[in-house]
Amino acid sequence: MNNFGVIEVASTKTKNAPGWAYVPDIGPSPAAAALQPTNRKRAVRNQTALSLSDVSARQDTKVRKDLEALDRDIHRDANIPIPPKPGAGRAQNKHTPNVRKILQSQKTFANHLDDYQALLTLAETNPAAAAALANAAPTKPAVPSTSARNSPAPTASGGGGGGSSGGGGGGSKRSAALAKRAALVTAKEQKEAAAAKKAAKVKSEPVFEAEHNTTSGNNDGGDVEMTDAPPTSGPGEGAAEVASKTTPSGSATPTAAAVSSGSSEPQLQPVLPPPPETWYQADGSMLPAYKRKPPVAHPGDNDPLLVSSRVPRFPTDDELCALMTAPPLSYLEARAGWGDEEGRYPVRTFCEVCGYWGRVRCLKCGARACALDCLQTHKEECFTRYGL
């Protein structure tokens, strides 16, 4: 940490021109429409309308294909087999059934993502079916007592959280998705528990192994059994709001926590965790008063006109608590979207040949070029691709 020096620190307050620029363009073009900053919404709409034309469709297709290629692992996906082990004859560990399945899986990230999204969709349209699917464990069902404890909350609390208050754009969409996921949790929980139990058993009783081999074969929806985010989805949404309403003094939950983690129950529910809220509050009900430095005082702090606008209120402990304990978003929820806000960045177009501004368009395919030189070069390629 001491050698953790600095190479660059930038902290000047100079406002330089940002890195984008507008380009004049020949022909109908969204970029040209975007020249008027006030028109940016319309510019975005124009763009979609334009894409209906053949020329733009060709261009769209090309862009899509290009992006797919850029996303692939470098150049081509090499299928390099695992070379033989060094220092021969090292006894191969015997894998557990879980591990064997994982090692054999040839699923890509896209496959896993599809599985997950499919389950979410199913949960939305047909929660019962999703639950059944998620619950389709080949072996014994989970301990019955688990469902009683876990079933009530998710859907109800998820649905209630709907419109996130703190969130800006995309917030409500995200919390809706959270609610969807919550619906899955109950079912998954049981399956997971069963699987874990299974794993533990295999260790002690080798006899079971054969049985599991066969069952894991026909259960190749395998990943379904994997865990979801914690079933805290409810409390996470509309953070501030929920926190202040439901946990003003940490009244109900800590007691519940004390009960569930107390000594009376452990044997009853060996595979079940206490409700996740207890993680946050296991050693204390609430975030302590915020003792560190408050935001820098400002002479205008007490000016009623400025209080709300110039010096934003520092979040309350409840708000901070809600923020710090909110559950993770899913992979797609965390992907930054192209919101309306970003309409302020005009789409820039470049010469496909040399990379300079794309000031002229090929009438056949919509490709851009900077000037006649490059357009000529492009046309030769364009001819090979589209003919005529």
Binding residues for Zn ion, rule: CB under 5 A, are: 351, 353-354, 356, 362, 364-365, 367, 370, 374, 382
Q: Does 261 bind another protein (CB under 8 A)?
A: yes
State the burial class of residue 181 (Cβ atoms within 10 Å of its Cβ: 0-12, 13-18, 19+).
buried
Q: Does 248 bind another protein (CB under 8 A)?
A: no
- Report the residue count for the chain: 388
What's the CA gap between 346 and 20, in Å, rounded? 8
**What CA–CA distances, in Å, run from 245 to 268, 288, 299, 319?**
32, 18, 33, 11
Helix (H) or strand (E) holding 154: helix 153-161
Closest Cα to residue 238, out of 184, 160, 295, 305? 160
Q: Does 35 bind another protein (CB under 8 A)?
A: no
Q: Which does 75 bind (CB under 5 to 8 A by kind): another protein, Zn ion, none?
A: another protein
| Min separation Cβ 230 and another protein, Å | 4
**Cβ atoms within 10 Å, residue 150:** 21
The C-alpha angle with vertex 327 and arms to 321 and 330, in degrees rounded to 5, equals 150
Q: Which does 102 bind (CB under 5 to 8 A by kind): Zn ion, another protein, none?
A: another protein
| Min separation Cβ 188 and Zn ion, Å | 51
Fill in the DSSP letter of residue 310: T
The string of DSSP codes covering 351-368 is: -TTTSSB--EE-TTT--E
Binding to another protein by CB under 8 A, coded x per residue (else -) over 160-199, reads ----x-xxxxxx--x-------------xx--xx-xxx-x
Q: Which does 52 bind (CB under 5 to 8 A by kind): another protein, Zn ion, none?
A: none
Out of 35, 57, 115, 151, point to the residue binding another protein (CB under 8 A): 115
Q: Considering the complex, state which of residue 297 and residue 388 has its C-beta at the smaller distance from Zn ion.
A: 388
Q: Does 24 bind another protein (CB under 8 A)?
A: no
Q: Show Cβ contacts of residue 18 under 8 Å, excluding neighbours closer than 6 positions.
A: none
Q: Considering the complex, state which of residue 240 and residue 382 has its C-beta at the smaller distance from Zn ion.
A: 382
Q: Which does 345 bind (CB under 5 to 8 A by kind): another protein, Zn ion, none?
A: another protein
Fill in the DSSP letter of residue 369: E
Q: Does 360 bind another protein (CB under 8 A)?
A: no
Q: Which does 107 bind (CB under 5 to 8 A by kind): another protein, Zn ion, none?
A: another protein
Q: Does 80 bind another protein (CB under 8 A)?
A: yes
Q: Which does 382 bind (CB under 5 to 8 A by kind): Zn ion, another protein, none?
A: Zn ion
